[in-house]
Amino acid sequence: MTAHRIIIDTDPGVDDAIAIMLALASDRLKVEALVTVAGNVTVEQTARNACMILELAQRTDIPVHAGCARPIGHTRVSASHVHGVTGMDGPDLPAPTMPVQPRHGVDYLIDAIRDAPRHSLHLVMLGPMTNLAMALIKAPDIAARLRGVVAMGGARCEGGNITPSAEFNFYADPEAADIVLRSGIALTLLPLDVTHQCLTTPARLARLRALPGRCASAAVAMLEASGRFDLNKYGWAGAPLHDPCTIAWLLQPDLFAGRQVNVSISLHDPLTRGMSVVDWWDTTDRPANALFMHDANADGFYDLLTRHLARLP
């Protein structure tokens, strides 16, 4: 089977790190590059973290390009209160030695999408959509060349996790999310409605803890460190695991269910800025622009994650 080509646009981030590990562990995905963005922490730190993950997994053949340092429309926000000041607090990982590539992440995306055969490349977005939005502004022709975009972002019934109404990735750069949603690209969204079903319960964490290898060990250390915030916040049986749902959808889409709907982004109301307005019941005449997932098979998701992490060094 020919491996499916993907570029991962990311702001590592604990759940980003585990999503990247999941992708690296699959022989069905070919990760072309990691492109980083300011989000959970600064773009300099997300690039450093991306290099650390690749070195941990012994995949320094994959280049890292640093992208945008700030959002399009407002002051940068971060999620260091969840992920720690490094973005990946928990494990004691060595400083990376592999270099960040000199070409800006936005320019890399434009060239990579133009150079790939049409509809051969998926972009997996784990953070704010700033890089792709800027690429679309500079080179609108790339929208028709992508096979699709798979993104963690938004919410319908779950409210927000950074404001009462907005999910973090969309809130961190709502203008960018709006540009991508209006671009015509085939878009699949894994929102909080799905990720809040995928809880890292003690039993699931114990299965990961029993795995061999330094990647699994680092994943557990990160989940334990960041999970304390979510456990205190939500009072659930476990902390939600967001970004790996994007990779799981690529590998096993029947783990999720949703529908084609219109999703719009609130931009101007300070109470709802960054909110994803989901026309679930088709009550407007706005055309569908996203496959919006709503349900997840959490046990199947963690089975997939556990099997794949066991393959890594």
The catalytic site residues sit at: 242
Longest CA–CA span in the chain (Å) reads 53
- Number of DSSP helices (H) and strands (E) in the chain, helices first: 12, 12
Please return the burial class of 139, using the count of CB atoms within 10 Å of its CB with bins 0-12, 13-18 and 19+.
middle
Residue 82 Cα distances to 14, 123, 306, angstroms: 9, 25, 23
Q: Which helix H or strand E contains 30, and what residues bound it?
A: strand 29-36
**Beta strand residue intervals within 173-289, DSSP E:** 187-190, 199-200, 239-240, 256-261, 263-265, 276-278
Q: How many CA atoms lie within 13 A of 51 on its CB side?
A: 16
Helix (H, G, I), strand (E, B) or coil at 249: helix
Residues composing the chain: 313
Residue with tokens 């690529």: 250
Q: What is the DSSP letter of 258?
A: E
Percent of residues in the chain assigned helix, strand, coil, to nearest 5 = 40, 20, 45
